[in-house]
Chains A and B, each alone.
Chain A
Amino acid sequence: MAESSAASVAHHGHPPDVTKRDMLKLVAGATAGIGVAAVAWSLIDYMNPAQDVLALSAVEVDLNPIVAGQGITVLWQGKPIFVRHRTPQEIKQAADVPLNQLIEPQPDNARVQPGHDQWIVLVGICTHLGCVPLGNKSSDPRGEWGGWFCPCHGSQYDTSGRVRHGPAPANLPVPPYAFESDTKIKIG
């Protein structure tokens, strides 16, 4: 058994093994802390999107069936995405608009991919209060600017998906997408 503290103080003139004891407690505590952190990370990461959700985080769209003047809606990460095949007149209409006429100024070429300006890909959620605008089918109402028309409160978008008539405050967002070939895009 270790000598009592009182005897030790008399012997060495300072409390025995305090620094060694404190070091030990520090090392033990720090190691325990590492363990706790590893456990905490597992629980936090558990709540991140699971592998099946991540697998659906990107969606491929075959562009072949979409004829000029028409658009389709696909689901990406739970949101409707408009993919529309613009006619040359629609492209010209979008490109010719002076920026100062726009509620949210953005040139058309910033909203399409170079060499593929006949394809416009937009998140189909009205930037006002979240309804899904009409306009993909040529039989749908498309509003004054030939793009999309939101039936909820009357917002109108042009062929570049830019808001031209409120109450929507902003243009339809362009999701991240890339051309895998001339006839296939991958969204996300």
Chain B
Amino acid sequence: MMRALRCLLLGAFAAGLAAAPAMAQEEAPAPPPQHWTFDGLFGTYDLASAQRGFQVYSEVCSVCHSLQYLHYRDLAGIGLTEGQIKSVAAAVTVPKGLDDDGNVKEGPGTPADQFKNPYPLYDPILNVVRTNEKASRAAHNGALPPDLTLMVNAREGHGDYVYAILNGYVAPPADFKLQDGMNYNKYFPGHQITMPQPLHDQQVTYADGTPGTVEQMSHDVVTFLAWAGNPELAERKQMGIRWVLFFVIMTGLTYAVKRTVWADVDH
């Protein structure tokens, strides 16, 4: 009976783990799994893909979506050189403090600056730029395009989900009642999303010549956003292999010492 009970317990635990992710989806199908280079124990970001994704963000998404927790200097993490970072930053105009009349003055970006916010709200006391939520809503019929820095982390399906949304704009079923100003998306919970399809084929001309299909652009921008949400991933996994190996070795060593210490004890 004990064995049966333990099996039941393990089974219940496993069922619970399996059931837990499914419950949050409600109504929308689970996003199909994609292959990401950053998955797995030894995964890292494909830097070329991340750089293309940065291009997609800059040319398409940045019109509405902020990346307020990123600074231009962080782009070294996807392989940009100091010179490239300086020119990327200098190409945008960002708030630069107050002028002598007390008004917000602007100037070319520097590596130390936050990514340009499409609807900036400059805080002169803390010298940070936040999102001007009201201005953003006013420009989007009351809807607020969310900040994207943590988007891949903030959704159950992570990268698969964001990819699915970007590729999920299909015609609604005949009996579906689509509200005014909304768009049908196969993978969005409730199927009605305010954002119109953001990516279209050939919309972005990649610097490295890769064809700019929707799938390619989605894949690249998701890689970029995954990096934006978890920039420490490569270092973290590398350290992880070392530390787990260290503890395996230490367990072996301490166990051997334990055996010698306990050698002459009846136990």
Instruction: Determine whether A and B are in direct contact in the complex, meaning some CB atoms lie less than 8 angstroms apart.
Output: yes
Instruction: Mark B203-244 against chain A: 1 for CB-CB distance below 8 A, else 0.
Output: 000000000000000000000000000000000000000000
Given contacts A2-B263, A4-B264, A35-B246, are A55 and B73 in contact (CB under 8 A)? yes
Separation in Å of the A163 CB from the closest CB of chain B? 31
- Taking a contact as CB atoms under 8 Å apart, the answer to whether B253 and A28 are in contact is yes
**Option from B73, B246, B254 in Cβ contact (under 8 Å) with A28:** B254
Which chain A residues border B256 with CB–CB below 8 Å? Answer: 24, 28
- Taking a contact as CB atoms under 8 Å apart, the answer to whether A32 and B250 are in contact is yes
- Taking a contact as CB atoms under 8 Å apart, the answer to whether B250 and A55 are in contact is no
Instruction: Mark A12-23 against chain B: 1 for CB-CB distance below 8 A, else 0.
Output: 000001001100
The closest CB in chain A to the CB of B247 belongs to: A35
For the complex, is A52 an interface residue (Cβ under 8 Å from B)?
A: yes
Interface residues of B in 34-85 (CB under 8 A from A): 71, 73
Interface residues of A in 1-45 (CB under 8 A from B): 1-2, 4-5, 17, 20-21, 24-25, 27-28, 31-32, 34-35
Given contacts A24-B253, A31-B253, A56-B112, are A2 and B73 in contact (CB under 8 A)? no
Given contacts A31-B250, A35-B250, A55-B73, are A24 and B112 in contact (CB under 8 A)? no
The closest CB in chain B to the CB of A35 belongs to: B246
The complex places the Cα of A21 from the Cα of B112 at a distance, in Å, of: 56
For the complex, is B141 an interface residue (Cβ under 8 Å from A)?
A: no
The closest CB in chain B to the CB of A25 belongs to: B257
The complex places the Cα of A5 from the Cα of B261 at a distance, in Å, of: 12
- Taking a contact as CB atoms under 8 Å apart, the answer to whether B249 and A31 are in contact is yes
Which chain B residues border A4 with CB–CB below 8 Å? Answer: 264
For the complex, is A100 an interface residue (Cβ under 8 Å from B)?
A: no
Separation in Å of the A39 CB from the closest CB of chain B? 10
The complex places the Cα of A19 from the Cα of B253 at a distance, in Å, of: 15
**Option from A5, A27, A52 in Cβ contact (under 8 Å) with B112:** A52
Instruction: Mark A41-54 against chain B: 1 for CB-CB distance below 8 A, else 0.
Output: 00000000001100
Separation in Å of the B247 CB from the closest CB of chain A? 8
For the complex, is B159 an interface residue (Cβ under 8 Å from A)?
A: no
**Option from B71, B246, B249, B263 in Cβ contact (under 8 Å) with A55:** B71
The complex places the Cα of A31 from the Cα of B266 at a distance, in Å, of: 30
Given contacts A51-B73, A52-B71, A52-B112, are A28 and B250 in contact (CB under 8 A)? yes
Separation in Å of the B79 CB from the closest CB of chain A? 17
The complex places the Cα of A3 from the Cα of B151 at a distance, in Å, of: 63
For the complex, is B260 an interface residue (Cβ under 8 Å from A)?
A: yes
The complex places the Cα of A1 from the Cα of B267 at a distance, in Å, of: 9
For the complex, is B109 an interface residue (Cβ under 8 Å from A)?
A: no
For the complex, is B111 an interface residue (Cβ under 8 Å from A)?
A: yes
The complex places the Cα of A25 from the Cα of B256 at a distance, in Å, of: 9
Which chain A residues border B266 with CB–CB below 8 Å? Answer: 1
Separation in Å of the A171 CB from the closest CB of chain B? 31
Which chain B residues border A24 with CB–CB below 8 Å? Answer: 253, 256-257, 260
The closest CB in chain A to the CB of B242 belongs to: A38
The complex places the Cα of A151 from the Cα of B132 at a distance, in Å, of: 43
Interface residues of A in 34-90 (CB under 8 A from B): 34-35, 51-52, 55-56, 60
Separation in Å of the B131 CB from the closest CB of chain A? 19
Which chain B residues border A28 with CB–CB below 8 Å? Answer: 250, 253-254, 256-257
Which chain B residues border A20 with CB–CB below 8 Å? Answer: 260
Which chain A residues border B250 with CB–CB below 8 Å? Answer: 28, 31-32, 35
- Taking a contact as CB atoms under 8 Å apart, the answer to whether B71 and A21 are in contact is no
Which chain B residues border A56 with CB–CB below 8 Å? Answer: 112
- Taking a contact as CB atoms under 8 Å apart, the answer to whether A2 and B264 are in contact is yes
The complex places the Cα of A60 from the Cα of B113 at a distance, in Å, of: 14
The complex places the Cα of A27 from the Cα of B253 at a distance, in Å, of: 8
| A-B contacts, 22 listed (Cβ < 8 Å) | A1-B263, A1-B266, A2-B264, A4-B264, A5-B264, A17-B260, A20-B260, A21-B257, A21-B260, A24-B256, A24-B257, A24-B260, A28-B250, A28-B253, A28-B257, A31-B246, A31-B249, A31-B250, A31-B253, A35-B246, A35-B250, A52-B71
Taking A31-B246, A55-B112 as given, write out 16 further A-B residue pairs in contact, using a Cβ cutoff of 8 Å, ordered by the A residue number. A1-B266, A2-B264, A4-B264, A5-B264, A20-B260, A21-B257, A24-B260, A28-B253, A28-B257, A31-B249, A31-B250, A31-B253, A32-B250, A35-B246, A35-B250, A56-B112
